[in-house]
Amino acid sequence: MKTEINGSTLELMTGDITKVKTDAIVNAANGTLMGGGGVDGAIHRAAGKKLLEECKQVREKQLNGEKLPTGKAVITGGYHLPAKHVIHTVGPVWNECDEDQEELLAGCYDHSLKLAAEINASSIAFPSISTGVYSFPIDLAAKIALQTITDFLMTYDFGRVMMVLFSQKDYEIYAAALKRNDRAIGE
């Protein structure tokens, strides 16, 4: 499913984000940047050992040895991936008592897109951030992701943004959210 927004394309697809040929893919990372499970582990395995080495350098030099804060993003090379760059962002762990989770999730998408624009990327692929082991409700995550991407594309001439979804069920949830989002834009 595709939609045009201010001359750019927002596309939904199912598949393996590590196989997408694009300027940048987004890694739903943990704050250590050392790899992990899910998308994070898959990206680290596909990119090879040099990604981990660069992540260690980023953590030491850019983050002063600290973890990457939730909602923020950093960029590395793509190494053995078909993507030129990996943008690492840390999504919020769902806890319905926390009031800032939606803002933090939106920050993941916004900061990633702005980093991509800074390196003159014209294509980027996102996973569904925080909806796996971090348990963010996917209906809400889809709404936040698509609205944040749309807001960015209404402001910036970018190119192509892809949401690469793990399952057909996830795709259907995002497709329904995109249809609601398109109607809201048209109003």
pLDDT at 154: 95
pLDDT at 162: 98
**Phi and psi for 82 in degrees, rounded to 5?**
-70, -15
Asked about 40 being catalytic, the answer comes back as: yes
Residue recorded with tokens 């994070």:
40
Which tokens sit at 53? 């080495």
- pLDDT tens, residue order, the chain (187 aa): 999 999 999 999 999 999 999 999 999 999 999 998 889 999 999 999 999 999 999 999 999 999 999 999 999 999 999 999 999 999 999 987 778 999 999 999 999 999 999 999 999 999 999 999 899 999 999 999 999 999 999 999 999 999 999 999 999 999 999 998 776 665 4
Spot the catalytic one: 23, 40, 110, 170.
40
Please state which CATH class domain 17-176 belongs to: alpha beta
**Alpha-carbon gap, residue 33 to 28, rounded angstroms:** 10
**Phi and psi for 124 in degrees, rounded to 5?**
-150, 145
DSSP annotation of 186 reads: H
Which tokens sit at 43? 């990206």
Other Cβ atoms less than 10 A from the Cβ of 133: the count is 12
pLDDT at 186: 52
